[in-house]
DNA sequence: TCTTGTTTTAGAATTATTATTGAAATGTAC
DNA sequence: GTACATTTCAATAATAATTCTAAAACAAGA
């Protein structure tokens, strides 16, 4: 029953944002909400194709574009060659591990950030992308330990 | 004469970083240093093809990859579908105008940024990307004035 | 139900980027 | 200086993500 209610809530969420809650859109959004891994369009497609055998890649891209435009999800440009998507809309930072490629969220307080240089600019979106090595990969292969500082030292 | 000296300095710069100063690499670096607009690979190619008629896109990509790996330039992932390049290596923020596409630099003090959540992570690179509308485009077409806040209010 | 507009599909097309490969340049040993 | 080995270059070909197109399926309102 809880799944059904969850789905109904998502429908309402979409409707409230002026987005028609089509099947594909709901499924894509649901996947993004349950998987916290910031999947790529391809990953979403692969995950949903078993459940929606007629699904096409273009539908996934369409759904992502519509959801993103409506502000229901956000598009990460943390990687140059592929987009990643995030259902969390509050402001937070993203860290991508250069070894395993995983993208982690982290809380960040933009309040202290100074950028007086931007007077006159209308700022709509602020993205903070960090890159480096995640704790797991640091443990696994210390051979990767080139130069660099620990985050905690900053 | 000053141009010649400039070129000689760039040669030295590259050599000091262990990069052989080939003609294409020098020209690409020089272009990035004089044009502050964070051009794409395509823009660099178009700009240099008149001067180097034999130039190929791949050469530009190769040069950019080598320069980037050597830390002489940095690669921006501010756009999903194409990379942009920056000869400035000090830490600073980037603002992309959603109307004209231009990318502006802005000074930023990361010192105040809080991100305790990243303990255990090895942070190698920090990118701050803002998006919105630049002063010029705000003047030009006020029709684009949807919702959003002024940067100075943050 | 019929109409009208929207969404999905499948595959072709496009675009940025990377891999490959032969040629040229450079380095090294004699 | 010459012969050989190695590195680097740059052009073509290939790849992979994304978008486009046209047709079919669907949904909502009259």
Query: In the CATH hierarchy, which fold is given to the domain comprising A2-85?
Result: Arc Repressor Mutant, subunit A (1.10.10)
Q: Would you call A107 and B115 a contact, using CB atoms and an 8 Å cutoff?
A: yes
C26 closest protein residue (CA to C1'): B20
Q: Would you call B119 and A149 a contact, using CB atoms and an 8 Å cutoff?
A: no
More confident residue, A6 or A72: A72
Is B42's pLDDT higher than 50? yes
CATH entry, A90-141, from 3.40.640.10, 2.40.70.10, 3.30.1490.190, 3.50.50.60: 3.30.1490.190
Dihedral sign of CA atoms B89, B40, B96, A42 in order: negative
Same fold for the pair A2-85 and A90-141: no
Segment B24-35 mean pLDDT: 91
> Are B10 and B4 spatial neighbours (Cβ–Cβ below 8 Å)?
no
Strand partners of residue B126: A130
* Average pLDDT along chain A: 84
Determine the Cα–Cα distance for residues B74 and B32; give it in Å rounded to an integer.
Answer: 11
Is A25's pLDDT higher than 70? yes
pLDDT of residue A38: 92
pLDDT of residue B36: 81
pLDDT of residue B143: 44
The answer, for A80 touching chain B at a CB cutoff of 8 Å, is yes
Determine the Cα–Cα distance for residues B92 and A10; give it in Å rounded to an integer.
Answer: 39
Q: Report domain extents, chain A.
A: 2-85, 90-141
- The SS3 assignment for B104 reads strand
Residue-wise pLDDT tens digits, B84-104: 999 987 888 999 988 888 899
Confidence of residue A139 (pLDDT cuts 50, 70, 90): confident
Q: Would you call A131 and B124 a contact, using CB atoms and an 8 Å cutoff?
A: yes
pLDDT of residue B41: 92
B90-142 belongs to CATH 3.30.830.10: no
């Amino acid at each position: 029953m809880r799944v059904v209610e969850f789905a109904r809530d998502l429908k309402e969420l979409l409707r409230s944002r002026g987005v028609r809650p089509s099947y594909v859109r709901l499924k894509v959004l649901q996947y993004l909400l349950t998987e916290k891994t910031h999947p790529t369009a391809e990953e979403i497609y692969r995950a949903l194709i078993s459940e929606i055998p007629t699904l096409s890649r273009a539908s996934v891209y369409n759904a992502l574009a519509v959801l993103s435009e409506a502000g229901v999800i956000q598009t990460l440009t943390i990687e140059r060659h592929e987009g990643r998507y995030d259902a969390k809309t509050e402001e937070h930072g993203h860290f991508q591990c250069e070894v395993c490629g995983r993208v982690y969220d982290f809380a960040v307080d933009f309040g202290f950030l100074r950028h007086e240089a931007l007077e006159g600019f209308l700022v709509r979106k602020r993205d903070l992308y960090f890159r480096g090595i995640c704790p797991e990969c640091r443990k696994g292969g210390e051979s990767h330990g080139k130069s660099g500082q620990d985050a905690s030292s900053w």
